[in-house]
């Protein structure tokens, strides 16, 4: 089938670069079918990705002409500005930002859970964030099989989750501290090097951060609106890879062996071979790695798990590219 061009908007960013590499290595499209866009700061910049060289262009109205598929790896305001134009041009659109995720008219896709919602006559899709995606990937099959009443997640989020400028700040602040130099932060509100920050995103009036709110609402939208979900999001000085301490409260008492057996057969889930995984060990993997699965002897309906995933892949580039693969298969 002949398809028009595939436009990647935000192609210079962490998620955008991973999407381009994955589209090429998975042979969803050839380099000549891809056009890379970013802000006017990046106009003319050359990117080498998966063995091909691209020249980045500024995003304008013309970027969306003849586009069959547009993948937005941009922050919400940029997605909000340009997605209507892409849709008016008849393109399929996948958005990595939070702009449309909770819109009832837009399917929120976590590919291991609900990729079947991708349909020919639906043009706009959002994928979930890089916490909701791994948590739902693990919880949804367990909920379907055994029934979960409550999910409690404490997240240990890498700096890559806040974009490439945040990773640079983590590196530079680390160097400055080791070399006894002053450092002026521009991304994080508190010291990130050798520290943890129990706030990801702006605070809301109800005491949650917006990140925690998004995790809760996105899990409910995809897994089950009736679920009760709580989350505490913490930023840690890790470059890439999110970790999650997850407590699942089941409707009835459950055996750890039954949870392990169910997870062994769940898509995009891997049981950690050596008790647990750490973030640096899962970089480059598309799966959610599960370890330390254990009972709470005081609460027979509870099971605790330790999850690790590459946040630039699961809940980001991998999810976008799996949705793209389904769209390109129409």
Ligand X SMILES: NC(=O)c1ccc[n+]([C@@H]2O[C@H](COP(=O)([O-])OP(=O)(O)OC[C@H]3O[C@@H](n4cnc5c(N)ncnc54)[C@H](OP(=O)(O)O)[C@@H]3O)[C@@H](O)[C@H]2O)c1
Q: Which is nearer to ligand X, 78 or 288 (CB)?
A: 78
Report residue 108: phi and psi, to 5°: -100, 115
The verdict on whether 242 is a catalytic residue reads: yes
Q: What is the C-alpha separation between 261 and 273, in angstroms, rounded? A: 14
Question: Of residues 70, 130, 170, 308, which has the active-site annotation?
Answer: 130
Task: Choose one: 14-22, 198-206, 271-279, 286-294; the region binding ligand X (CB under 6 A).
Answer: 14-22
The phi-psi region of residue 45 (left if phi > 0; otherwise alpha if psi is between -120 and 50; otherwise beta) is beta
Segment interacting with ligand X, rule: CB under 6 A, options 145-153, 160-168, 185-193, 200-208? 160-168
Measured from the CB atom, the residue of 33 and 76 that comes closer to ligand X is 76
Site membership for ligand X, residue 139 (CB under 6 A):
no
Is position 130 annotated as part of the catalytic site? yes
Q: Which of 6, 34, 73, 246 touches ligand X (CB under 6 A)?
A: 73
195 Cβ contact partners less than 8 Å away, ≥ 6 residues apart? 237
Q: Is 316 in the site for ligand X (CB under 6 A)?
A: yes
Q: What is the DSSP letter of 203?
A: B
Binding of residue 160 to ligand X (CB under 6 A) = yes
4-12, 100-108, 147-155, 192-200 -> range binding ligand X (CB under 6 A): 4-12
327 near ligand X (CB under 6 A): no
Taking alpha carbons only, the member of 113, 161, 115, 158 closest to residue 140 is: 113
Q: Does 171 bind ligand X (CB under 6 A)?
A: no
Catalytic residue, from 127, 170, 242, 308: name it.
Answer: 242
* Residue 281 lies near ligand X (rule: CB under 6 A): no
Please answer whether residues 279 and 170 qualify as being in contact, where contact means their C-beta atoms are separated by less than 8 angstroms.
Answer: no
| Nearest residue to 311 via CA among 156, 79, 188 | 156
Q: Is 21 in the site for ligand X (CB under 6 A)?
A: no
Rounded distance between C-alpha atoms, residue 227 and residue 149, angstroms: 6
Sketch the per residue contact string, 28 through 57, with ligand X: x for CB under 6 A, - otherwise.
Answer: ----------xx-xx---------------
12 touching ligand X, by CB under 6 A: yes
Q: What span, in angstroms and rounded, lies between the C-alpha atoms of 182 and 137? A: 42
Q: Are the C-beta atoms of 212 and 233 separated by less than 8 Å?
A: yes
Q: Alpha-carbon distance 284 to 298, whole Å?
A: 37
Q: Pick the binder of ligand X from 14, 85, 285, 309 (CB under 6 A).
A: 14
Pairing of strands 67-72, 92-95: parallel
97 or 254, CB closer to ligand X? 97
Query: For the chain, percent helix, then strand, then coil, each to nearest 5?
Result: 35, 25, 35
The answer to whether 96 contacts ligand X (rule: CB under 6 A) is: yes
Residues within the interface to ligand X (CB under 6 A): 9-16, 38-39, 41-42, 59, 73-75, 78, 96-97, 129-130, 160-161, 163-164, 311-312, 315-316
Catalytic residues: 130, 242
């Amino acid at each position: 089938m002949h398809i028009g061009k595939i436009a990647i908007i935000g192609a210079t960013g962490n998620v955008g670069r991973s999407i381009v590499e994955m589209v090429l290595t998975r042979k969803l499209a050839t380099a000549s079918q891809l056009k890379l866009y970013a802000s006017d700061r990046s106009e003319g910049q050359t990117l080498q990705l998966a063995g091909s060289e691209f020249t980045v262009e500024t995003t304008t109205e013309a970027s969306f002409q003849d586009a069959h598929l547009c993948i937005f790896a941009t922050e919400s305001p940029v997605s909000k500005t340009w997605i209507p134009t892409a849709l008016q041009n008849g393109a399929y659109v996948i958005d990595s930002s939070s702009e449309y995720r909770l819109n009832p008219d837009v399917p929120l896709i976590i590919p291991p859970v609900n990729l079947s919602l991708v349909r020919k006559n639906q043009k706009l899709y959002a994928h979930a964030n890089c916490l909701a995606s791994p948590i739902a990937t693990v919880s949804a099959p367990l909920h379907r099989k055994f029934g979960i009443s409550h999910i409690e997640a404490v997240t240990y989020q890498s700096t890559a989750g806040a974009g490439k400028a945040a990773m640079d700040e983590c590196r530079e602040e680390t160097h400055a501290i080791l070399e006894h130099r002053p450092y002026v932060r521009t991304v994080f509100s508190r010291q990130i090097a050798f520290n943890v920050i129990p706030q990801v995103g702006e605070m809301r009036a109800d005491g949650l951060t917006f990140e925690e709110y998004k995790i809760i609402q996105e899990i409910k939208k995809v897994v089950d609106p009736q679920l009760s979900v709580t989350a505490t999001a913490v930023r840690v000085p890790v470059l890439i890879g999110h970790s999650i301490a997850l407590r699942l409260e089941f409707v009835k008492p459950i055996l750890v062996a039954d949870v392990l057996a169910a997870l062994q057969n769940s898509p995009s889930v891997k049981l950690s071979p050596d008790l647990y995984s750490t973030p640096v060990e899962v970089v480059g993997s598309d799966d959610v790695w599960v370890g330390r699965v254990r009972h709470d002897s005081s609460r027979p309906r509870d099971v605790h798990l330790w999850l690790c995933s590459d946040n630039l892949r699961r809940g980001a580039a991998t999810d976008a590219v799996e949705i793209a693969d389904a769209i390109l298969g129409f």
